[in-house]
Structure 1
């Protein structure tokens, strides 16, 4: 019981002291007190960059898994891991002896059918065979030729070639190994041009067009920026993240970039002329923002504003101020609307000599 009474007395005492301190502070403000020292700055128009930052992932211009269309035993393997190959260059061959025999057999069948057709034509001219019999033999020749074409096409499948210029990946096969149709042998990437895929906010969709310049860097070459252009924009917006996809092409003549690399990029947009003020001069009142603007008598007055882009140490103003207005910069936290201040800015002092008082350093 005694402890509870002591705690109650202590709480009451602290509350009383707090209320007294508030009363003293309020009285000091009403009675004058020291004049705060401030610096002021003009509201100016600056041309600012509105570059958009994002992260993107690189993909090759063309990229495939090399796989045979048929199965068989490898008789020749010419894949040199990590090396460049040209379009049409042979990568491996499979045992094709059985298929080659089928091709030869089909060729013989074609020759035999053509010989029979030639003989039938002579008989038809002598009216020894009917038109239908001649047509049947002509069809037989066409079937034989089609069969030959099919076998020759299948024979081509026993040789795997590079479909385009590119760099080969790794493989773990050996000559003599058996492989099945569709099994991955290695990869082939066209690295002459790289494609960078990234996401941007949906509220910038109307400003991004094909041909827009981007600049990107990667941890592998942190001091080497790569420049490219946007060549495709996804017409759909992600309803969850409210972003859209875009793709940029980067020249890779120096062969520095690789698929899968993460890149930091900036989308270069035209500069805009806009009002800017120091970010530290903007104060908050709940969700609202305001500054202290100096009136004709050099007294600070509260002015609510609307802001736009936040820069490193500045912020753009979209409503509430005009070029040439002077606002409180350093010392803004000590300012009270309508109360005199010591203005340290020379330019302000010349305009408001009646309010300037000698002062030392401003305290922000």
Structure 2
């Protein structure tokens, strides 16, 4: 038992001695590391205060770098965007006013027809006989009335007989007019110059009054109806131009003339209805097409434009930083200038007041300009953006996608003709179709 106690004491004493030695050996190294961390690194030659920190890599005395662009002078249009549908200037579905059997069709599908051209003839044998009967009755009534006037002058009959014969003559004339009107209604005529649609009848068909025969469309001019918000009602006026883009004809643009403005503003959408007219004698457009309309309110040839990024809004006002010459070649001075803006188009904004053509403005890095008159450096972004440096500084812009081709109007624009008046050229009458 005594030997076990001795072993235990010796083990405890050995552990204590080993722990103390380890603590003693590690204490100088920790102190040395602590002193080295607490001692600041002395600035080397050519270094200023805080030069070793990443935040001061550019140095506090170096001017901040900014991106710039020049004020461009370009032609802009004051316009709006809308959608609408095309419709014929004149359109009608021919229907008979009286019943009858079709005996003749004088047109083919999609033929051009002229005003007053006979298109469909219904059976007129019975109405023709009624007309002849009415003409005979008129002849008899006229002869009786003439004889009665001669007899009344000789005092052989009373005046009452003359009055009755005059009334009979008027009745006979009315019957003749009715028979002729019924006969005329058996001839279906073209009401205006246009293009016939696809007929739905054949020779021999019996048509009731009101049955559809064929549609006639005046395609020389088309109407485009669209709506604009009520804020544009003071800008849009009859005679202005509107540009049309049709999805069915990509790459082509058409010109329309605004003809009428609805005096009533829609209370539901707060919009005003507008009607334009398109010259369509080239027959590229069809009624019912969907169109995108761009009404043009005005054109400015020398508008001053800058990138939208240059605008710094503050308290409801618009500012830009304009650069002027600095103390050296690489440094410019930033001046804070209040501007008035106008139309915005494709990432650019018009400046109506505050800048002149050729001025240089800051487009990126405004947050680095702490106060008015701060020196700045112009950053060359040619390598980063992939565009030449001249373009970044406001030079000629890079090539953009080609604009849609504008289809010119022909001479004698039919849209200048009064609404509802016949216009355009008409083809000669076609040969009659005897078969279905």
Is contact 1:277–1:317 with CA below 8 Å preserved after alignment? yes
Is contact 1:300–1:336 with CA below 8 Å preserved after alignment? no
Work out which of the residue numbers 33, 38, 61 in structure 1 matches 2:89.
61
Unaligned runs of 5+ in 1: 1-26, 346-361
Distance 1:66 1:286, change over 3 A: farther
Deviation at 1:342, TM superposition (A): 2.0
Match status 1:342 vs 2:377: yes
Work out which of the residue numbers 294, 305, 310 in structure 2 matches 1:276.
305
Is contact 1:299–1:337 with CA below 8 Å preserved after alignment? no
SS at match of 2:134: helix
- Within a 5 Å distance, the mapping from 1:142-291 to structure 2 comes to 142-272=170-300, 274-283=303-312, 290-291=319-320
d(CA) in 1 for partners of 2:343, 2:56: 39
d(CA) in 2 for partners of 1:277, 1:210: 32
1:93 is matched with 121
Is contact 2:92–2:216 with CA below 8 Å preserved after alignment? yes
1:323 is matched with 356
d(CA) in 2 for partners of 1:283, 1:28: 27
Match status 1:310 vs 2:344: yes
CA deviations on 1:149-196 (whole Å, 9 max, x unpaired) are: 011101111111111121111223222222221121110011112222
d(CA) in 2 for partners of 1:239, 1:97: 56
d(CA) in 1 for partners of 2:69, 2:88: 51
Deviation at 1:304, TM superposition (A): 6.3
Distance 1:314 1:33, change over 3 A: same
1:21 is matched with none
Is contact 2:92–2:215 with CA below 8 Å preserved after alignment? yes
d(CA) in 2 for partners of 1:162, 1:191: 14
Deviation at 1:70, TM superposition (A): 1.0
d(CA) in 1 for partners of 2:337, 2:344: 19
Is contact 1:74–1:176 with CA below 8 Å preserved after alignment? yes
**TM-score, with structure 2 as normaliser:** 0.64
Distance 1:200 1:281, change over 3 A: same
Match status 1:135 vs 2:168: no
1:5 is matched with none
SS at match of 2:268: coil
CA deviations on 1:130-155 (whole Å, 9 max, x unpaired) are: 22221221121111111110111011
d(CA) in 2 for partners of 1:170, 1:86: 17
Deviation at 1:318, TM superposition (A): 5.3
Is contact 1:58–1:195 with CA below 8 Å preserved after alignment? yes
Distance 1:202 1:296, change over 3 A: farther
Work out which of the residue numbers 22, 34, 51 in structure 1 matches 2:79.
51
Is contact 1:67–1:185 with CA below 8 Å preserved after alignment? yes
Larger radius of gyration between Structure 1 and Structure 2: 2
304-313 vs 288-297, greater mean Cα deviation: 288-297
d(CA) in 2 for partners of 1:212, 1:155: 48
Is contact 2:86–2:287 with CA below 8 Å preserved after alignment? yes
**Equivalences, count:** 319
Deviation at 1:334, TM superposition (A): 4.7
Distance 1:42 1:220, change over 3 A: closer
Distance 1:225 1:143, change over 3 A: same
1:120 is matched with 148
Aligned-residue Cα RMSD (Å) equals: 3.2
Distance 1:317 1:238, change over 3 A: farther
CA deviations on 1:251-306 (whole Å, 9 max, x unpaired) are: 22222221112223332333235553211222456977544455897554666655
Is contact 1:42–1:323 with CA below 8 Å preserved after alignment? no
